[in-house]
Each structure stands twice: as structure tokens, then as C-alpha cells.
Amino acid sequence: DSGVTQTPKHLITATGQRVTLRCSPRSGDLSVYWYQQSLDQGLQFLIQYYNGEERAKGNILERFSAQQFPDLHSELNLSSLELGDSALYFCASSVASSGSNEQFFGPGTRLTVL
């Protein structure tokens, strides 16, 4: 157990819908990262937050948005869902904002868009 929690574990929804994925980082970690992992694919970096502020942005679609709240939990919002958005979404946390720190991954949320 990494100490990072994600809810829900599974999410099944229809095209065009909107969903929210939630992540709670390890105690003491200020950075939260979001990744998308499609079937048999690598980890695609979406976005990073550090202590409530956006720090780095990857190939995140305009239909996707995220935020980090004062209690440091983070939410990833996915809207106008398409079939291709079906994937495993991981959240990771680290103690600092630098990319040179170990990232601890949560168990992931498996999103299925029908």
C-alpha cells in the first residue's frame, strides 16, 4: 500500500458524459500527478499540482481539467467523454514539486466509456 488513495476503483459511463476522479496523496506529500494508461500502453503524463497550484502540464485534452484543494486532495474531471478515453487513470504523489523525487502511485481508477 503506497498511502495514495483513489476513488472510485471502477467507473462505467456513456459517451458524452462527465466524470470526476478523486485522489488523496500520501500524508505529507504536496505534489499530485495524474497519468493516463490505455490498454497495453505506457504512462501518459496529464498534469501536476503542487500545494494547490498547477506546476506542469502534459498532453491533457481541453475536455479534461484538474484541481488540487486546500486539504491537498485532487480531482480530475473528464467531460464530453469519448470511447477513446477508456483507460486506467493513475494518481501519484511526491513530497516536493521537483520531478527528481520518487512518485508513489495510487491503485488507479479504471474508466470504461460505452
Partner 1 sequence: GENVEQHPSTLSVQEGDSAVIKCTYSDSASNYFPWYKQELGKRPQLIIDIRSNVGEKKDQRIAVTLNKTAKHFSLHITETQPEDSAVYFCAASAGGYQKVTFGTGTKLQVIP
Contacting positions for partner 1 (CB under 8 A): 2, 33, 41-45, 48, 55-56, 58, 90, 97-100, 102-103, 105-108
As a whole number of angstroms, the distance between CA 47 and CA 91 comes to 10
80 vs 101, which CB is nearer to partner 1?
101
Query: Residue 36 or residue 81: which is nearer to partner 1 going by CB?
Result: 36
Minimal distance in Å, beta carbon 37 to partner 1? 9
CB of 89 to partner 1, least distance (A): 12
- In the complex, the smallest distance separating the C-beta of residue 58 from partner 1, rounded to whole angstroms, is 6
Identify which of residues 33 and 64 has a Cβ nearer to partner 1 in the complex. 33
Cα 94 to the center of its chain, rounded Å: 13
Phi, psi of 84 (to 5 degrees): -70, -10
CB of 65 to partner 1, least distance (A): 17
Would you give the distance in Å from CA 17 to the centre of its chain? 18
- Residue 77 or 98: which CB sits closer to partner 1? 98
Rounded-to-integer distance, Cα 114 and Cα 106, Å: 25
**CA 28/CA 22 separation, integer angstroms:** 18
